[in-house]
Structure 1
Amino acid sequence: MTTGVAEAGSRAPLPDISPKPVPFIERASVVVFVLAPIAGVAAAVPFFWGWGLGWTDVAIFALLYPFNALGITVGYHRLFTHGGFKAKRWVRIALAILGGQAWQGSVVFWVADHRRHHKYADQEGDPHSPWAYGPGVWGLTKGLFHAHMGWLFRKERTSRTKYAPDLLNDPDLRFMGRNDVYVLIAASTLLVPMGLGALLTWSWHGAVTALFWAGLLRVFAGDHITFSINSICHVFGKEDFKTRDHSRNVWWLAIPSFGESWHNLHHADPTCARHGVLKGQIDISARVIWLMEKAGWVWDVRWPDPQRLAARRANP
């Protein structure tokens, strides 16, 4: 993880966080930054089709991707970080395992970093603000890399005892946060698709291609989408609700992020279990929570409160 915003002694001061249009050149740099890696992977698909990629790999990818995405969005984020609802023990354990398979760290570390992010959003102390190096094309480019993945290489770690004491007091989560246990959870991310590929094709070739496309590539895609919430959704988009930071809504990330890119409402009302609260804002994670509530697996869900939302509207 690289140096955090708290160490930004020589960096440009954080810009005014009042809503302002982002210049076109800065918007263009953001699009290139996000889409270039995805375009590179997409370009490889026709080249490898029929030899290193087949329908079995695509099917396994499509089957497994939602589980790990929900492990992050519903589990790590809305349940463990913000307490948007309460869940049965087996649901908590399952979500913690699925989130761990996304290769974004153990639940305790993830939650500590995210709570710190909310405490200092886009100010000194935020571990991954894209505004850490100031505005402008060069400052924003450096800031985007920092917010997207550079911060993961910083030397210091967010204090778990300060930001996630409740998780450390949970025996199940503390156990899954152990290095040896987390390594097993992370390994299952590759072993499961590899096993499915071997069983479905009854060949080592099928096992290896599934390992790559439905294992490693699935992790790449999921992590890149999550990191985009840290970077893209704090640079440009629409502000429907008043916040003290740069959080914005980015509609074109809504489906791949399972509703996490309705980021502006999330920062306006962090404990709300639904982020896409306005008409047309699809929030897959919220729908999954709703289904689990109907099944009796979760309860005390913090659904949007109309009065609280009205008080936070930027432009009613």
Structure 2
Amino acid sequence: MSESAEILSPARRGPKSLFSGRRPLPAHITVYLFVIVPFLALVAAVPVAWGWGLTWLDVALAVGWYVVTCLGATVGYHRYFTHGSFKAHRPLRLGLAVAGSLAVQGPILHWVADHRRHHAFADKEGDPHSPWLFGTSPAALVRGFWHAHLGWILDRNLTNQERFAPDLLADRDMRVMHKLFGPLTIVTLIAPAVMGGLISWSWLGALTAFFWAGLVRVTLLHHVTWSVNSVCHMIGERPFATRDKATNFWPLAVLSMGEAWHNLHHADPTQARHGVRRGEVDISARVIWLFEKFGWAYDAKWPDPERLGRIARFTTVP
């Protein structure tokens, strides 16, 4: 059966299928809640900040939690677990799985399977979040942007983990981490509130920390990550040769911790560093470099100038 036929028949099961089942209704309702509630918090953020309820403590907690959880997604879920850009000793491996789970982007087995499927079918039928699946007319691109940015998350079909993440399925630690996603989601929202309350020694400090370092931080991270799926397949530079439309979009480089250098990533997915040209800030790559220096990680796949030269389309790589 062809790949496209599999997409049209998602009920089909087995190791070759794109899908392995459907998300249970209670879990699916939870997905909607974790998309809608933090977004409403972000909408409320401007009037709240204007009138009351934003302190330097809230800013510090939000930034700190954002950095840790964003790196959990970029260094952990993405570069390590999905692409094997470096190797990690067990304590770091577990720490990265926890930090990635705290980003509230889904349990680790779902996330990795979805992303590997994205690379297998990038910008073609079978890609879970390509903005180019509906055509190139203005209306089709609007629909495609919505699908790539958020719509795909609301699909109940689950990517086949046996096909796309058999290594993690075989890892007992990762099966446990997958099951701990729910409790860790509670932690990522409640812990900032506890910290804010204890540091300020007030219930108001706990409430504002929950709002800013919990809800607003989660939704900002969500939309930065989703923008890599949508914006970074539609707008930006393409200095390296790829089979798809992945681009580099520099305005998102810092907020995404280097993930917005998406064109190089699709040209050479296992690289530990995505921002390889002069001036391309890649915070995630620097963190991996530090992990190696501390002896927590090893065998990172750093860019090879000769390899970069072969895949460059129209620029000279320094």
Q: TM bucket by the smaller chain?
A: 0.7 to 0.9
Q: Does 1:105 align with 2:86?
A: no
In 1: Cα distance, 2:133 partner to 2:41 partner: 25
Deviation at 1:47, TM superposition (A): 2.0
In 2: Cα distance, 1:247 partner to 1:97 partner: 28
Match of 1:63 in 2: 64
In 1: Cα distance, 2:269 partner to 2:174 partner: 22
Q: Is the 8 A contact 2:41 2:211 kept in 1?
A: no
Q: Does 1:43 align with 2:46?
A: yes
Matches within 5 A, 1:203-242: 203-242=202-241
Deviations 1:150-206 (A, max 9, x none): 00111211001110010011111111112xx21111111011101111101111111
Deviation at 1:87, TM superposition (A): 0.4
In 1: Cα distance, 2:196 partner to 2:42 partner: 25
Cα 1:61–1:238 change in 2 (3 A) is same
SS at match of 1:177: helix
Structure 2 gaps of 5+ residues are: 1-5, 10-38
Structure 1 gaps of 5+ residues are: 9-35
In 1: Cα distance, 2:44 partner to 2:245 partner: 30
In 2: Cα distance, 1:262 partner to 1:53 partner: 32
In 1: Cα distance, 2:219 partner to 2:136 partner: 28
Matches within 5 A, 1:110-259: 110-178=111-179, 181-259=180-258
Match of 1:22 in 2: none
The AA in structure 2 aligned to 1:314 is: R
In 2: Cα distance, 1:225 partner to 1:37 partner: 16
Q: Is the 8 A contact 2:41 2:215 kept in 1?
A: no
In 1: Cα distance, 2:64 partner to 2:290 partner: 19
The AA in structure 1 aligned to 2:169 is: L
Match of 2:280 in 1: 281
In 2: Cα distance, 1:96 partner to 1:158 partner: 19
Deviation at 1:45, TM superposition (A): 5.3
What is the percent sequence identity of the aligned residues? 51
Deviation at 1:138, TM superposition (A): 1.3
SS at match of 1:157: strand
Matches within 5 A, 1:12-91: 43-44=46-47, 46-48=49-51, 51-91=52-92
In 2: Cα distance, 1:39 partner to 1:174 partner: 32
SS at match of 1:126: coil
Q: Is the 8 A contact 2:239 2:313 kept in 1?
A: yes
Q: Is the 8 A contact 2:86 2:301 kept in 1?
A: yes
Q: Is the 8 A contact 1:81 1:111 kept in 2?
A: yes
In 2: Cα distance, 1:292 partner to 1:175 partner: 24
Q: What TM-score does the superposition give when structure 2 sets the normalisation length?
A: 0.85
For the aligned residue pairs, the C-alpha RMSD in angstroms reads: 1.9
SS at match of 1:145: helix
In 1: Cα distance, 2:48 partner to 2:222 partner: 19
Match of 1:306 in 2: 305
Q: What TM-score does the superposition give when structure 1 sets the normalisation length?
A: 0.85
The AA in structure 2 aligned to 1:234 is: H
In 1: Cα distance, 2:297 partner to 2:226 partner: 27
In 2: Cα distance, 1:139 partner to 1:153 partner: 19
In 1: Cα distance, 2:47 partner to 2:243 partner: 42
Cα 1:174–1:39 change in 2 (3 A) is closer
Deviation at 1:42, TM superposition (A): 6.3
Q: Is the 8 A contact 1:6 1:126 kept in 2?
A: no
Deviation at 1:55, TM superposition (A): 1.6
Cα 1:274–1:41 change in 2 (3 A) is farther
Cα 1:246–1:101 change in 2 (3 A) is same
Deviation at 1:76, TM superposition (A): 0.2
Q: Is the 8 A contact 2:242 2:266 kept in 1?
A: yes
Aligned length: 281
Match of 1:270 in 2: 269
In 1: Cα distance, 2:141 partner to 2:114 partner: 22
Deviation at 1:68, TM superposition (A): 0.2
Deviation at 1:278, TM superposition (A): 0.6
